[in-house]
Structure 1
Amino acid sequence: MNHFCRRLHGPCNVLIAVEAFCEILHQSAHVIMAYFMFTEQYLIPAGRCFHFQLIPSFGMNVGTFLNLSIGIDRIFSIIFPFFYSNVSRLVYLPVTTIPALCYGAAIMLATYALLDEQ
């Protein structure tokens, strides 16, 4: 059992776990929407909506980018199997997750800038 658990700590499995967490953040938007639907508040100001949807939208954007990273990771592992098995996780995981976080932050900042112009 211990050997099986260690095999699940590879870079791809960690990326899948991070992407799953981002999807949990994304799905939390349904709770917010349900609250407004049940309290019959169908129209809210854009600024207020932005603040409510900030974390779910960030999770959606990061999760989408991580899906691309996981796909590239799988192709990389098939094309270069010997190199992939020797890659340091401490270097590889930040290289694949930091661009996703930057993408999510850039989208949120661009949205805030557009919202601020209105």
Structure 2
Amino acid sequence: MFMLRLLILIIFLAALIVFALSNTDLEPIWLVSFGWHLSIGTLVLGVGALALLLGFLIGLIGDMQQRSRARRAEQHVRTLESQLVELHQRLDRLQNQPAAPLPSASPVSPAQKV
């Protein structure tokens, strides 16, 4: 999966670099009331780099959340395993205790049951 992402990233960056090198003419660029002269290729390369960083940060946040959930799940598993060991020990102790004598009862014949 990592290699696929890396391949897509390399292809994307190569396309952006080729576009940036192909469009070097300066053009006036306006954003609200701010204006400057910039090549379209540089603009596209900058927007692509910002999008790449934003995607990386979003992925990092999701990865941190996933790791946190995994740590909580592992802690829960450890707790359940310790409870299971404790229950097995209690069961072994109960099985190894001598059986308490049952109160003696006179045997009932099949004729008396009716």
Which structure shows the higher strand fraction? 2
Same fold flag (TM > 0.5): no
Normalization by structure 1: what TM-score? Answer: 0.33
Which structure shows the higher helix fraction? 1
Higher relative contact order (CA 8 A, sep 6+): 1
